Amino acid sequence: MTAFGKLFRTTAFRLTLVYLLLFALFAASLLGYFAWNTRRLITDQITAGVSEEVGLLTGVFDRRGLRGLVFAIENRALRPGSNLYLVTTPAGLAVAGNVGSLQPGVMATTGWTETAYRRLDEQDKTDHRALVNVTALSNGFRLLIGRDLEERHRIFSVVASAAQWSLLIVVVLGLGGGVFVARRVLHRIDAMTGTTQRIMAGDLSGRLPVGRSGDELDRLAENLNAMLERIEALMNGLKEVSDNIAHDLKTPLTRLRNRAEEALAKSSNESEYRTALERTIEESDGLISTFNALLMIARAESGQARDNMTDFDAAEVAQGIHELYEPLAEDNGLTLSVQAQPAPLHGNRELISQALANLVENAIKYGQPKPAPQPLGADAAVAAETDKTILIEARREGDCAILAVVDHGGGIPEADRKHAIERFVRLEASRTLPGSGLGLSLASAVATLHGGDLALSDAHPGLRATLSIPARTGEGLAASTPDVQQNGA
Amino acid sequence: MSDSSNQMRLLIIEDDRESADYLVKAFREVGHVAELASDGEEGLSLADGGDYDVLVIDRMLPKRDGLSVIGSLRDKGNRTPALILSALGQVDDRIKGLRAGGDDYLPKPYAFAELLARVEVLSRRHGGPAEETVYRVGDLELDRLSHRVMRGAEELTLQPREFRLLEYLMKHAGQVVTRTMLLENVWDYHFDPQTNVIDVHISRLRSKIDKGFERPLLHTIRGAGYMIRDGVR
């Protein structure tokens, strides 16, 4: 019974029931109207026929008196399937006609009456019904003319039984159809529910079955599948992040612990303790900044940082970062320069500034020209001179705002470039320099958040890191575009 | 270090017992008075009734959220400077905190020196005199209107950013200013750089204002940041 209960609770089945009720009412009222109209038509025919005969026979009475009337009625009454006729004296005695009995009092009132009657010539004792007209003649005589209602009754009963059958058919077919549709829907929903339950139990790879009909349930299933796809990707990303955290934070944590342990075991005076504690704090600050960078990347990748998007110019960001890092580059024996042309953007200014800052910090860290032998010749000195610059570029290129940092250091071999953007990857001997190894990953995540990307390429020699971010479209752009073209030309 | 005229009355609203006790102890050690509330409701009623110089409010508190505590105080017209401590260290959350009426925002985990420096700056802002047009420290003078900087009789030429850096340091003369505070207030960036980029700017500024002069004014405070002040205390 629970199966039926489940079926009954489906929307499809309930809708079917509602429609069934509506159709049944509709069919019933249609048939009712038909029956009522048919009945009225028959009644009209009877009254018209009888009225005509009343006129005819009262004319006979007027012209030929009672004898003539009786003669005419006896004549008509003998015809098979004829009307009912009765002529009575003022005392109520029957003079002529084919009526055997009537309901009492019928002859007393003139006009139309419906009454039970029996014919004179009939053998059976059953009453029939008739519609009769009683007319008062002169001298107190009365004339009754009427017609049997059997025909009307028969037609009415035919209609009534048709109504019964059609209602029955509507109900049976409707219920059957409802059950069929509901079961079909229920079957598909059950399949979906099963899949979702498996997914909830932890199997994120499950997908909802999609039929071939392309109906609303299939579309729903397709959309849910796309959603599951996205959730699975996010979950995998999360898992990757936590794996990376576990893997790469454990090393510095272990180092931190070892140092504290060593200090506890070996330090003998206050200054040694102090040094050990200071190094511990330094190490934990490094851990905190790594952690912050990881969180920032995770947020950027999951699209959470979409708030706080504003309109700004990439050129201003480039100039700001140039201004901040120029002295640092100089201290490192490098020249930081900037070439900024208007490139309007819509984005998170703070994040884009940070991404560019990371690229510049990388360039300062790794952008020292290699002491490797330069090509022989007079140009060697000139080449070594230009090698010392780091260039920050901002410009508009097609639909993108470009922020690039070009250094002339060792660069990154082509095979390693993709790898370099991954989290925690610090290439080769760079582990002696400070940093979490997350700079490029963060820059890349910020670019992705804005619908752009980070590309690393060869600067012959050195590295060119390019952030391409879709430029702002709409108003304000028109004004800046010619400017860009002018500068570019 | 403890100077009774500089003593502050602080209210710390923090539900984690251990970090709250640590903060109270650390503030008392440097000579300030710190009181403690362990949930939002208690914090609100204490802050509303008491006369504090600065409120240090944890973002997530039982009974009443830190931001809502600040919001109700501001609604009642209480302008006591409030610093928000939060485990949510992101830029967005910082903006939310400042919008709710907070005056500064410090993500956890933080160094106590950083918190102390920020709290002292906030307190100065609360009770201090109106913005002056000329800042003076020793024989160093900075005119904010004409953008002229004089050391003794000599006029110094500073880059615009160096001027703003010096202006910020001199506005908070005698107070420790951390690297993060400088990056936030002079450059308006809220990330932590992996390099000593601020130190380089400071050393450039120092070479301009202190080099060749007998008495250095710009001091490095180890483990905390920088301070501009005249001579020894």
ipTM of the complex: 0.80
Alpha-carbon distance of A398 to B183, in angstroms, equals 34
pTM: 0.62
A204, A214, A210, A205: which is closest to A188 by C-alpha?
A: A210
Assess whether the previous peptide bond of A80 is cis (omega < 30° from 0).
Answer: no
Place of tokens 């506890």: A264
Comparing alpha-carbon positions, the chain A residue that sits nearest to B188 is A350
DSSP H/E element including A92: none
CA distance B189 to chain A (A): 7
Smallest CA–CA distance, residue A224 to chain B, in Å, is 30
State the pairing for strand pair B54-58/B9-13: parallel
Beta bridge partners of residue A83, listed in sequence order:
none
pLDDT band at A475 (very low <50, low <70, confident <90, very high): very low
> Is residue B7 within 8 angstroms of chain A, CB to CB?
no
Q: What is the pLDDT of residue A477?
A: 43
A154-168, A280-294, B109-123: segment of lowest average pLDDT? A280-294
| Interior/surface letters A6-23, b for 16+ CB within 10 angstroms, e for the rest | ebeebebbeebeeebeee
- Is B49's Cβ below 8 Å from some Cβ in A? no
Contacts with A320 from chain B: Cβ below 8 Å: 187
The CA distance from A328 to A315, in Å, is 20
Residue indicated by tokens 């160096």: B162
Structure tokens at A335: 């020249």
The pLDDT, as a whole number, for residue A435 is 54
Distance CA A252, CA A91 (A): 133
Question: What confidence tier does A98 reach under pLDDT thresholds 50, 70, 90?
Answer: confident
Q: Sort residue A71 into left (φ over 0), alpha (ψ -120 to 50) or beta.
A: alpha
Instruction: Report the top-level CATH class of B4-127.
Output: alpha beta
Domain over B134-228 is classified CATH 3.40.50.11860: no
Whether B189 and A351 lie within 8 Å, measured CB to CB: no
Q: What pLDDT score was predicted for residue B184? A: 87
Of B97, B7, B15, B11, the residue nearest B48 (C-alpha):
B11
CA A23 to chain centre: 31
Q: How far is CA A16 from CA A13, A19, B24, in A?
A: 5, 5, 72
d(CA B123, CA B33): 13
Pairs across A and B, CB distance < 8 A: 62
Contact B195 A364 (CB under 8 A): yes
Token pair in block for residue A159: 């209609």
Q: Is B145 exposed, middle or buried (0-12, 13-18, 19+ CB in 10 A)?
A: exposed
Q: What is the largest CA-CA distance in chain B?
A: 59
Rounded (10°) angle between helices B160-171 and B197-209: 90
Distance (Å, whole) CA B200 – CA A331: 8
Task: Give how far A365 is from chain B: nearest CA, Å.
Answer: 9
SS3 A198: helix
> Residue ranges per domain, chain B?
4-127, 134-228
Residue whose pair of structure tokens reads 């082509």 in the numeric block: A414
For residue A145, give the H/E element and its range.
strand A142-148
Q: pLDDT of A174-205, one tens digit each?
A: 888 888 888 888 888 888 888 888 888 877 78
With an 8 Å Cβ cutoff, are B193 and A296 in contact?
A: no
Q: Which residues of A touch B91 (CB under 8 A)?
A: 305, 308, 348, 350-351
A contacts of B89 (beta carbons < 8 Å) = 292, 295
Tell me the percentage of chain B whose pLDDT exceeds 90: 5
Quote the DSSP letter at residue B162. H
